[in-house]
Amino acid sequence: MSAEKTFYTIIAVIVVVAGIGIGAAYYDSVSSVHAASTPPSSSLTLVITPNNWYNATIHGNNSYIGHHGGQPAFFVLEPNGTLGSSASITLPGHQLISLTIIDYDSGVAPGLGNATATGVQNNSYFSKVTGTVGGVEYIYNGTAAAENATVTSNVTNGISINQGAGWAVKSLPWIGGASGGYMVTHTFTILSGSNVAVNIPSWAGSNPSGGTVTHASFYLNQTSGTTLNWQCYAPCGTGPSGWDGAMATAGWMMGTITVS
């Protein structure tokens, strides 16, 4: 009888151990499927600061030589809290990229769609959000008065209020009549060859000292090793057209993106 009990005890242990093994294998299988179904993601935070000291070189017809301050620049916010160069940025391909732009600049960039500068008021392509998830960006940190005025007078621009989650924006509005401009300080525009892959305009806001936050998510579906160009398309540099100085200098208002 003792031998029989021992036999059944051994069988029971084998069944339990096998069950644990099967359960563990099933758990690993489910976990692997779940992990595979969750796409990886990456984040990038850019900081725009105005009035940076720019060391210009002799330019063409000697229109400016030497030091020119007061120019804006994009910086990469590093994990340790320091500001790094935006001249060369590396971003993963085929992953969700979460981009936050902290903009300390202020005011409308007059060269973007300005009727006085271009001869005609136009719905500038670069005031529109392009290539992002949902075709929107989210804006934070505006004053209530300016936000309400913007929403009331620009319903057709696709601006909607999402309390606690920022403003979902498809394009930034025109202000100021015929001689005004779009409510854009800068754009972060990624080019694939001559085509615009992503365009994220930064809202000019209403604070004369600047201080708006823009968030958007997007994918880069190019193969690893591809080099893309990024450029601000709100003319904010020096020269008669605003396209000199910072606008034409890597690490200021332009640079490259390497897809990893």
Q: Tokens 């615009």 — which residue?
A: 196
Q: C-alpha distances in angstroms, 80 versus 90, 102, 132? A: 17, 16, 27
Residue-wise pLDDT for 129-164, tens only, equals 999 999 999 887 654 444 444 444 433 344 444 445
Does pLDDT of 199 surpass 60? yes
Higher-scoring residue by pLDDT: 58, 93? 93
Does pLDDT of 238 surpass 50? yes
Residue 64: which pLDDT band, with cuts at 50, 70 and 90? very low
Q: The domain spanning residue 246 has which CATH number?
A: 2.60.40.420
Are the C-beta atoms of residues 126 and 201 closer than 8 Å to each other? yes
Residue-wise pLDDT for 119-137, tens only, equals 444 557 898 999 999 999 9
Residue 84: which pLDDT band, with cuts at 50, 70 and 90? very high
3-state secondary structure of 69: strand
Most confident of 54-63, 108-117, 188-197, 242-251: 188-197
Does pLDDT of 58 surpass 60? no
Does pLDDT of 102 surpass 80? yes
- Residue 250 domain-assigned (yes or no): yes
- Residue 127 domain-assigned (yes or no): yes
Does pLDDT of 66 surpass 50? no
Q: Where does 86-136 show beta strands of DSSP type E?
A: 88-91, 96-103
Q: Supply the pTM of this predicted model.
A: 0.73
- Residue 8 domain-assigned (yes or no): no
Q: What is the number of domains present in the chain?
A: 1
Does pLDDT of 255 surpass 70? yes
Does pLDDT of 232 surpass 60? yes
Does pLDDT of 49 surpass 70? yes
- Residue 25 domain-assigned (yes or no): no
118: left (phi over 0), alpha (psi -120 to 50) or beta: alpha
- Residue 33 domain-assigned (yes or no): no
Q: CA 192 to CA 132: how far, in whole Å?
A: 15
Q: C-alpha distances in angstroms, 70 versus 47, 53, 114, 237? A: 16, 6, 21, 9
Residue 101: which pLDDT band, with cuts at 50, 70 and 90? very high
Mean pLDDT of 180-186: 82
- Residue 35 domain-assigned (yes or no): no
Residue-wise pLDDT for 3-39, tens only, equals 554 434 433 443 333 443 434 333 343 333 334 455 6
- Residue 4 domain-assigned (yes or no): no
Does pLDDT of 256 surpass 90? yes
Determine the pLDDT at residue 202: 92
* Residue 169 DSSP symbol: E
Q: Tokens 């020096």 — which residue?
A: 238
Does pLDDT of 239 surpass 70? yes
Residue 157: which domain range? Answer: 41-259
